[in-house]
Amino acid sequence: PLPLIPQYRAAAIQYAPTLFEKEKNLLEQQEMVEEAARNEAKLIVMVEMATTAYCFYSRAEISPYVEPIPGPTTERFGEIASRYGCYLVVGMPEVDTETDIYYNSLALIGPSGMIGKYRKTHSYISENTWAKDGDLGLPVFSTEIGNLGGFICMDASFPETARLLALKGADVICFPT
């Protein structure tokens, strides 16, 4: 039998972030996320590396733009999630404050704040110059709109990624790319 999950509206934010313009990227996407939320989207998924754009060639080049999860960006989008009672998936470069290691990550934010994160497992192009492969496995988060899992871009090249999330009970797989 299929899992019983509530019906709701989902939105994918289609946006091409601009390198080195994090604040512009954040402001423009906040507007898009708010529009989706005003139109009753309960799950809103942003693109991979939504805050910064994608192709950085060194750790030094991306270092002004990484931040912890949770952190300023998740708090910013958390206000929208709280106001509209929705769930947001934000793709962003993360720094682990304990190890100073960088990751290409996604943050899952709900109406009550930060829910969890996933760190991309399969690197692509320039990521090896600045990011480490993820070390959190493939988490599935239980929410009122179902069990949510996620992976990022290149992870989809390996069918096992989605299969493992399904075996762990994911009702929906969020896919920032």
Q: Give CA–CA dist 15/18, Å, rounded.
A: 9
Q: Give CA–CA dist 135/36, Å, rounded.
A: 32
Any catalytic annotation for residue 23?
A: no
**Amino acid at the residue 144:** E
Q: Give CA–CA dist 174/76, Å, rounded.
A: 20
Any catalytic annotation for residue 21?
A: no
Q: Give CA–CA dist 60/143, Å, rounded.
A: 37
Q: Give CA–CA dist 40/87, Å, rounded.
A: 11
Query: Which is the catalytic residue, given 42, 67, 127, 153?
Result: 153
Distance of CA 84 to the CA centre of its chain: 18
**Amino acid at the residue 16:** A
Any catalytic annotation for residue 120?
A: yes
Query: Which is the catalytic residue, given 22, 48, 94, 174?
Result: 48
Query: Which is the catalytic residue, given 22, 67, 120, 174?
Result: 120
The catalytic site residues sit at 48, 120, 153
